[in-house]
């Protein structure tokens, strides 16, 4: 295996994002749960692909590639949309437009975030077919990837929405920080009166995480757009021409890939594991995490060690 670090970091990243799962599940924070779900699934896919296609470009599991390439496409929309939901909620809670939130408000928020974090990404997963020139590609060491007919349509369907979601997220984050700075002396009381489970520390941690992930993701999305569009966009001739020989699977051994393209591809591969590590750094050392670690340690001491002593 030429790159043993790929499956190791992919599975490690998948495990790390699961650590904060329990307390976010109890809080029913759909947007944060969505981030955990999408990052876990994509990192798991990356890990499997790195093992199956280590040193080869065989096609042993075409159905796996059909499914996973669409999931990875969906994740590229779901993550900025999840951050958008987080910042939108933080802006709403910190503003003075609504004093408190009742059960009906929470239900509406859950429905809205489910649509944003899962419904819209699924819609774009289906819409990707418009600019999907053939079935999929297989790259040595990283496995199957979604194919893309790089044209104006691809720019509008793939990259423009992601950049738009990121910009809207940053606007909400700036507004939320503005509210916090204006009301910092009474902010804790305001959060308590709004029936929110947030504390000032959690509030700032969520904003910092969302902004960090968004800046990080936006830079790479913009670079990905530049990297693909700079050689020139292909003309959109007709639906039949774009989707001709659609069942084709293109195979790319590492030796056939230009070094510059291979380097860019590996950089983009690391975006998801790095995003998972960033997510863990924000939530793996907070107050909630320390409480969970103490509970786990007490359970281990009470249940596991007792069994060993018998």
How many Cβ atoms are within 10 Å of 141's Cβ, its own excluded?
Answer: 21
Please, what's the b/e burial string for 68-83 (b: 16 or more CB within 10 A of its CB; e: otherwise)?
Answer: bbbbbbbbbbbbbbbb
CATH level 3 topology of 5-309: Rhopdopsin 7-helix transmembrane proteins (1.20.1070)
Question: What was the pLDDT predicted at 138?
Answer: 96
Alpha helices in 128-270 (DSSP H): 152-154, 160-182, 187-193, 200-229, 239-242, 259-269
Q: Model confidence over 10-58: pLDDT tens digits?
A: 999 999 999 888 877 877 789 999 999 999 999 999 999 999 999 999 9
Question: What was the pLDDT predicted at 90?
Answer: 87
Between 5 and 196, residue with greater pLDDT: 5
pTM of the model: 0.89
Question: What was the pLDDT predicted at 94?
Answer: 79
Per DSSP, the three-state class of 250 is strand
pLDDT above 50 (res 154): yes
Q: Model confidence over 232-251: pLDDT tens digits?
A: 899 988 999 999 999 999 99
How many Cβ atoms are within 10 Å of 261's Cβ, its own excluded?
Answer: 11
pLDDT above 80 (res 76): yes
| DSSP-derived pairing of the beta strands 249-252 and 136-139 | parallel
Q: Model confidence over 158-195: pLDDT tens digits?
A: 999 999 999 999 999 889 888 888 877 666 676 666 65
Lowest mean pLDDT among 115-119, 298-302, 303-307: 303-307
Lowest mean pLDDT among 79-88, 114-123, 299-308: 299-308
pLDDT above 90 (res 97): no
């Amino acid at each position: 295996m030429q790159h043993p670090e790929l499956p190791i970091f992919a599975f490690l990243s998948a495990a790390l994002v699961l650590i904060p799962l329990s307390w976010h599940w109890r809080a029913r924070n759909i947007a944060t749960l969505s981030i955990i779900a999408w990052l876990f699934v994509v990192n798991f896919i990356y890990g499997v692909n790195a093992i199956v296609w280590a040193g080869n470009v065989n096609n042993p599991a075409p159905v796996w590639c059909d499914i996973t390439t669409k999931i990875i496409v969906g994740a590229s929309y779901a993550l900025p949309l999840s951050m958008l939901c987080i910042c939108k909620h933080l802006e709403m809670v910190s503003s003075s437009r609504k004093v408190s939130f009742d059960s009906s408000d929470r239900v509406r928020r859950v429905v809205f975030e489910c649509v944003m974090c899962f419904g819209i990404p699924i819609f774009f997963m289906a819409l990707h077919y418009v600019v999907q020139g053939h079935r999929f590609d297989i790259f040595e060491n990283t496995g199957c990837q979604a194919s893309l007919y790089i044209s104006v349509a691809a720019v509008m369907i793939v990259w423009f929405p992601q950049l738009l979601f990121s910009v809207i997220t940053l606007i909400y984050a700036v507004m939320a920080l503005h509210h916090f700075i204006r009301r910092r002396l009474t902010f804790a009381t305001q959060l308590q009166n709004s029936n929110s489970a947030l504390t000032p520390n959690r509030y700032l941690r969520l904003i910092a995480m969302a902004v960090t992930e968004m800046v990080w993701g936006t830079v790479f999305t913009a670079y990905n757009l530049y990297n693909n569009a700079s050689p020139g966009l292909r003309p959109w001739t007709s639906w039949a021409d774009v989707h001709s020989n659609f069942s084709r699977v293109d195979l790319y051994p590492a030796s056939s890939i230009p070094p510059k393209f291979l380097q860019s591809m590996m950089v983009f591969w690391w975006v998801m594991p790095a995003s998972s590590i960033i997510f863990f750094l924000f939530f793996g050392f907070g107050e909630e995490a320390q409480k969970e670690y103490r509970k786990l340690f007490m359970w281990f001491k009470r249940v596991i060690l007792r069994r060993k002593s018998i």
